[in-house]
Amino acid sequence: MDPLLGAAGDRLSAYHDRLARLVAVDSGSGQVDGLREAADLVQGWCLAAGLAVERVPVADQESRPLGDVLVARRRGTGTRRILLAGHLDTVFPPGTAAARPFRVHDGRAYGPGVSDDKGGVLAGLAAVEVLTTLDRHRYGELALVCTPDEEIGSVGSRSLLRTLGAETDVALCLECARDNGDLVSARKGVADLAVTLRGRAAHAGIEPERGANALLAAARLTVALDQLNGRWPGVTVNVGVLEAGGRPNVVADRARMLVDLRAWRTGEYEAALAEIRRLVAEPVVSGVHAELAVHAPTPPWEPGPAGRRLA
């Protein structure tokens, strides 16, 4: 390990220089120009390191461009295929890179996306470069994939990631892990849920009986969803956004809820989702109809012996 660690340490200055350039690019999910600029930078460094690069444009469900998936490959002399997976999109709005520029203080780097996941992408590339520098090629293939849409559920790149994963023996995620340095070998499943409620407007002071209050239905549904916490071990349900109505003297004819569901086990994940569907379909206020949309459902990555062996 000493030669590997030494070669990695020798790359630290160049790593910081690259990270500064990458963090200086605003590349929030959907900021296609910035995402392609970030991909251009990584592509140039990959080509310089001797990797073959492919760019695959991806779009969302409405065919709106999301940017490009970058896939960089290097062949080795062995048989095992290794996938290094990261992403270039961040959660920050345009202008954040200028407002909070990259800096290093007391051995810690700061800036939008510096850890999640631009630092991870560059760590993966640095690892490939270290192996190349030391002439260590006992793998069949190393593939570095960088996606533009992870923060919104990989809605455009999901099918390509599924294909790449099926082609490899080992997949390593380049995301940040835990503050204490622990590796992550299991993750909760997650689903982003959107509930739309439609009722009927009426004057709240003169003829409230003619209305159907979507806000009231959303409030009752919020309580019902919150009560799912604790029903199954490790399952969490959170109503993070509730929007309803428009004027205080009008019975609200519409409401919208955004809900986060997470679970450790596949069976519990599916059971909780089924119960949420039942609650949404069950009228809680007469005249109010609710619809559920499930976005980017990702089943649990359950702990198991294979993951423990790899760790």
| Residue ranges of domains in the chain | 2-176, 189-298
CA distance 175 to 119: 8
Topology given in CATH for the domain delimited by 189-298: Alpha-Beta Plaits (3.30.70)
Please give the structure tokens belonging to residue 213. 């209050």
Tens of pLDDT, residue by residue over 263-289, are 999 999 999 999 999 999 998 999 999
Does domain 2-176 match CATH 3.40.630.10?
A: yes
CA distances from 39 to 176, 177, 300 (A): 19, 23, 29
CA distance 76 to 148: 27
Produce one character per residue of 243-272: b if its CB has 16 or more CB atoms within 10 Å, e if not.
ebbeeeebbbbbbebebebbbbbeebbebb
CA distance 93 to 160: 26
Q: Please list, in sequence order, all residues whose beta carbon lies within 8 angstroms of the beta carbon of residue 11, skipping any fewer than 6 positions away.
A: 126, 129, 130
Q: What is the DSSP letter of 208?
A: G
CA distance 38 to 27: 7
| pTM score, whole prediction | 0.84
CA distance 234 to 253: 35
pLDDT of residue 310: 87
Nearest CA to 297 out of 196, 194, 189 is that of 189
Nearest CA to 261 out of 288, 285, 295, 291 is that of 295
CA distance 66 to 42: 17
CA distance 307 to 55: 30
CA distance 241 to 90: 21
Q: Please list, in sequence order, all residues whose beta carbon lies within 8 angstroms of the beta carbon of residue 46, skipping any fewer than 6 positions away.
A: 53, 70, 72, 125, 144
Are the C-beta atoms of residues 255 and 218 closer than 8 Å to each other?
yes
Tokens 């109505």 found at: 245
CA distances from 43 to 55, 90, 114, 176 (A): 9, 18, 18, 21
- Could you list the pLDDT tens digit for every one of the 311 residues in the chain? 899 999 999 999 999 999 999 999 999 999 999 999 999 999 999 999 999 999 999 999 899 999 999 999 999 999 999 999 999 999 999 999 999 999 999 989 999 999 999 999 999 999 999 999 999 999 999 999 999 999 998 999 999 999 999 999 999 999 988 889 899 989 999 999 999 999 999 999 999 999 999 999 999 999 999 999 999 999 999 999 999 999 999 999 999 999 999 999 999 999 999 999 999 999 899 999 999 999 888 999 998 898 888 88
CA distance 71 to 121: 12
Length of the chain: 311
| Strand duo 81-87 + 170-173: pairing | parallel
